[in-house]
Amino acid sequence: MCRGGRLIADFVAGTAARPGLPEELEAHLTTTVDGLWVVWAHKVARRAGDLFVPLTGGSGYPADARAQCRFRGAHEAPDPGCTCGFHALSNPRLPGLPGAYDFTALTVALSGRVLAFEWPRGGVLWRAERQTVVRVQGVPGRHRYPDDPDGRPAVVPAAAPRDSGPVRLKLPAMPPVVQVCHDDAGWCVESGMLERPSASLVLA
């Protein structure tokens, strides 16, 4: 699994206290209707009923879940020395992704412990303890037909996205726990940066 570059920030989100972040990361924070600070991020997955399957495979995860490390169970997820946790990028353009029809672009709210790493394609690679899927849409850049909507609005949106802030966003109370050794957002597979786990590991 790709680890990203230098660790930029290690903080807790999902509380009423605004995380103290470097200035370049402030734009990725938003609040829920309950006034909890979360990280607004982007990733891809394959749909499998009500689950989202990482591009590296596995049984998938629900729309709201908390990560538990399967690779090294002695620590909480995410851990700076491991690849566990839910992965997402700060860049909504999803750089480096192939334009395949079975990929789904997700907008997610990250909370719990969150790690931010430099990402060589620009922006930040996030690894988080908790992930809540907020929006599902088609992957930017793939070929679209005029009658094939991909989740983009037909009208010019307001300055703030309708579902990005205290107007509608609310975290469920009790997310299920999902065991992961890594949750590949897809960029590692496409760019050849994937660190292959041992054959004994079962990917989640």
**φ, ψ (nearest 5 deg) of residue 135:** -145, 140
Question: At a CB cut-off of 8 Å and minimum separation 6, what does 69 contact?
Answer: 75, 76, 77, 78, 79, 82, 84, 85, 179, 180, 181
Q: Which burial class, exposed, middle or buried, applies to 68 when counting CB atoms under 10 A from its CB (0-12, 13-18, 19+)?
A: middle
Enter the pTM of the model: 0.75
**Stated length of the chain:** 204
Is residue 46 within 8 Å of residue 162, measured between CB atoms? Answer: no
Q: What is the pLDDT of residues 160-189, one digit of tens each?
A: 544 555 446 788 777 777 766 555 544 454
Domain spans of the chain? 7-141+165-191
**Which tens digit of pLDDT belongs to each residue from 20-36?**
999 999 999 999 999 99
